[in-house]
């Protein structure tokens, strides 16, 4: 369990620092002088990339909890 938490934390930290621009976007944005626009485009790409993974992870977690819920044992008297 502890290894999973460390792995998820490190994965999240590397995900935040990823460079998400494609080659075409990078070429267009590097030719200009406005670096704030380039940073905004990069943040937008990372946001658009993260949303599907979060949704799939949430759905997977819900399915996992549904199928691994322990059955309640009825006590007979």
The reply to whether the predicted model has a pTM over 0.75 is: no
Any domain includes 71 = no
- Which tops the pLDDT comparison, 68 or 23? 68
In angstroms, what is the C-alpha Rg of the chain? 21
Task: Give the number of domains in the chain.
Answer: 1
CB atoms within 10 A of CB 57: 10
Any domain includes 25 = yes
Q: Is the pLDDT of residue 43 over 60?
A: yes
> In this predicted structure, what is the pLDDT of residue 37?
75
Phi, psi of 73 (to 5 degrees): -90, 125
What is the residue range of 28's domain?
A: 20-56
Arithmetic mean of pLDDT over the chain: 76
31-35, 38-42, 63-67: the lowest-pLDDT one:
31-35
Any domain includes 40 = yes
Any domain includes 61 = no
Any domain includes 50 = yes
**In this structure, are residues 34 and 14 in contact, taking their beta carbons and an 8 Å threshold?**
no
- CA dist 3 and 35 (Å) reads 38
User: Following DSSP, what letter does each residue of 8-39 receive, concatenated?
Assistant: HHHHHHHHHT-----HHHHHHHHHSS-HHHHH
Q: What is the mean pLDDT of residues 22-28?
A: 68
């Amino acid at each position: 369990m502890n290894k999973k938490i460390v792995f998820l934390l490190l994965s999240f930290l590397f995900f935040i620092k990823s460079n998400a621009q494609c080659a075409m976007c990078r070429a267009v944005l590097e030719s200009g002088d406005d670096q704030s626009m380039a940073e905004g485009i990069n943040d937008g790409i990372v946001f658009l990339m993260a949303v599907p993974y979060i949704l799939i992870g949430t759905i997977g977690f819900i399915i996992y909890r549904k199928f691994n819920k322990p059955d309640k044992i009825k006590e007979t008297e």
